[in-house]
Copies of this chain bind each other. A is one copy, B any other.
Amino acid sequence: MKQSSLFREIHEQPDVLRALIDQEAAHIRRIAGRLREREIRHVVIAARGTSDNAATYAKYLFGAVAGLPISLATPSLYTLYERPPRLEDALVIGISQSGQSTDIVEVVREGRRQGVPTLAVTNDARSPLAEAASHVVDIHAGEEKSVAATKTYTAQLAALALLASFWVDDAECVEAIERLPAQVAQTLALNEAVANRAERYRYMRDCVVVGRGYNYATAFEIALKLKELTYVVAEPYSSADFRHGPIALVEGGFPVICILPAGRAYDHVFKLASDLKERDAELLVISEQDEALDLATTCFHLPAGVPEWLSPILCVVPGQLLAYHLTLAKGYDPDHPRGLRKVTDTR
C-alpha cells in the first residue's frame, strides 16, 4: 500500500520540531524582546480549525507563564458585523497554517490599523497573513499535503512555547523545549500498538475526549482529528465542564479518551476518569502515570519527565495515531476526507 501523506507527516514531527528550534528560535527571541518593550495588557488571538486549538493552548501558556489574559477573537465582529473591538494595549496574534484565511487576516489587519503590535504564526512566510502582520514566526514545517493538520499543529505549539519562554527570558524553559523532538520520537514508537488497538473501535460512532488546563487544547485537537478523518462524532470537554451536563451521555461502554499527564490538572481529570470507570465507561487513557493507565481499557503510554506546560505537544500524538489507524480500520482514505479542502474559505 502506498504510504499516505498523513502517516508520513505524523512521523515527520520530530524533524519539524528540530528544524523549528534550529531555524527560528533566535528570531522568536528577537520578536519576544521587541514585544516586551510595548505595554501589552492582553492578547487577542484569531485562528480557525486546528490553529484555533493552538490558540487555546496559548491561552493557558501566556496566562500561566506571562500573566496575560488572552481572548480568542470573534472574527465575525470584524467581518460580518463590521464592529471590530478597540484593541488598545493588546497584542494581536493570527495563527494559520496556510496564512490564507481571510477573516484571520482581517483581524490582524485591524490590529495594524489600530497601531498595536501584531504577530503571524504561519507555515508560509509569504502568505497574506504574514504580509499583514508586523512580526512573523515561520513554523518551518514544510508543505503539509494531508488535509488533516498534524505536524503544523505541534510546530505551532512549539513556536508559541518558544515565544512564551523568551518573553519571560527563562533558559530552563528553552532547554525543556530542546528535549521535545526526542520525546515526540519516543511517543511515535506507540505506532504499532495503536495500529493493533484501532480494530476494537471499528464500529465506534461517538466518543468524548476529556482534558483540562494545558491539555484542554489537546482534547479539542484529538476530537477534531477523529471527526475529520474517521467521521466519529467526538466531543471535546474540559473535565470541569463535562460534569455540567454532558456527563449524562455516559452509559456502559461509552468511549471516553482521557488526557492524563502528570501536572496540576492531573488530580481533577483522574477523579473524573475514576467516576466514569464506575459508570462502566470505556476509557482510553493517555498518560505516563501507572495509576491512570490502570483505569484504561486502552493505554497510550507517554514518556516520563515532560513538564505539564509542554505535555500537549506529546499528548496529541497518540490521538493522531489513533485517528490515522481508525481511518484505515473503517476503510476510509486518510488523505481525502469527504468534503474537505486544505484551505477553507471562511469569509
With a cutoff of 8 Å between Cβ atoms, the chain B residues found around residue A113 in the complex are none
Please encode chain A, from 336 to 347, with 1 for each CB lying within 8 Å of some chain B CB and 0 for all others: 011110001110
- Contact status B213-A227, CB under 8 Å: no
Q: How far is the CB of A241 from chain B (nearest CB, A)?
A: 6
Q: How far is the CB of A55 from chain B (nearest CB, A)?
A: 12
Q: Nearest residue in B to A225 (C-beta to C-beta)?
A: B245
With a cutoff of 8 Å between Cβ atoms, the chain B residues found around residue A216 in the complex are 74
Integer count of this chain's copies in the complex: 2
- Contact status A248-B44, CB under 8 Å: no
Looking at the complex, which of A77-85, A156-164, A169-177, A192-200 is the stretch in contact with chain B? A77-85
Q: How far is the CB of A263 from chain B (nearest CB, A)?
A: 9
Given A89-B41, A279-B339, check contact A244 B67 (CB 8 Å): no
With a cutoff of 8 Å between Cβ atoms, the chain B residues found around residue A90 in the complex are 42, 69
Chain A contact residues (Cβ within 8 angstroms of B): what range?
Answer: 35 or more
Selected contact of A245 from candidates B87, B224, B249, CB within 8 Å: B224
Q: Which of A18-55 contact B (CB under 8 A)?
A: 41-42, 44, 48-50, 52
Q: How far is the CB of A327 from chain B (nearest CB, A)?
A: 11
| A191 contacts partner chain B, Cβ-Cβ < 8 Å | no
Looking at the complex, which of A9-17, A56-64, A126-134, A135-143 is the stretch in contact with chain B? A56-64
Q: State the CA gap A84–B205 with chains docked (Å).
A: 39
Q: How far is the CB of A322 from chain B (nearest CB, A)?
A: 16
